[in-house]
Amino acid sequence: MGNKLKILFENENYLVIEKSAGIIVNRSDTTSNEITLQDLVEKENKIDLPAGRQAKNDTDEDFRKRSGIVHRLDKETSGLLIIAKNGFTFSVLQAQFKERKVSKSYVALVHGEIKPKTGDINVPIGRLPWNRKRFGVLAGGREAVTEYQVLSILYLVSNGKREPLSLVRLFPKTGRTHQIRVHLSYIGHPIFADPLYGGRKIARDDRKILPRVFLHAETISFIDPKTNQKVSYKSELPKELKKFLNSLGEVVN
């Protein structure tokens, strides 16, 4: 993404952009030395609420605070994000997320061979009391559901060992923080190169050959707030993930 937004689609009400891995979405107290996606949106003057104009209501205030960014992706996750250009579009799209009218799919590469090849993971997720930066499966957590479909099994050959990896498409039905990463780790198939949920040693070895989490927000569908028609967008895997897949062993059906 560099210092410019990578815009996949734009109209008068919203943008659909492709976020690169490594960029933080929202500003916070800990991002003062990094360029965030929010900074890029403001730099390119893409939203219709200039600083200094009086916000009409809480929605407009939230819209301005977030610079129109409707939802989030983790720093190392690449893929599709929606940015609203005005408060009305922002509120309508946020309501669609809340009402689960937005459909998304992700692609991930995980350790091991997932069986069965299709299924769902339905366990609650909450912030870990002993580590506030991490989330996990907790009895008192919030409902979290992820459906999955194994696309193929590939093999990583390293130090004379041949490890199976599953390329999987995921359909989160809820939008909990770190949901996909936590769910895959919970079933014993952590995402490749995930430093939080992949296990310290495994993640350290993974990141020697792929220095980012293998998780990509591939598709998104929602109702256009102006036309009331369903729209869908797709983002191809980034070059670094395609290159890594091509370096792996033969695909086994």
CA atoms of 66 and 59, how far apart (whole Å): 11
Nearest to 67 by CA among 27, 8, 95: 27
Q: Which of 145, 186, 184 is nearest to 167 (CA)?
A: 184
Q: Strand 131-137 relative to strand 14-19: parallel, antiparallel, unpaired?
A: unpaired
Q: What positions carry a catalytic annotation?
A: 74
Q: How far apart are CA 170 and CA 166, in angstroms?
A: 12
Q: What distance in Å separates the CA atoms of residue 103 and residue 119, rounded to the nearest whole number? A: 17
CA-nearest of 246, 235, 244, 245 to 1 is 235
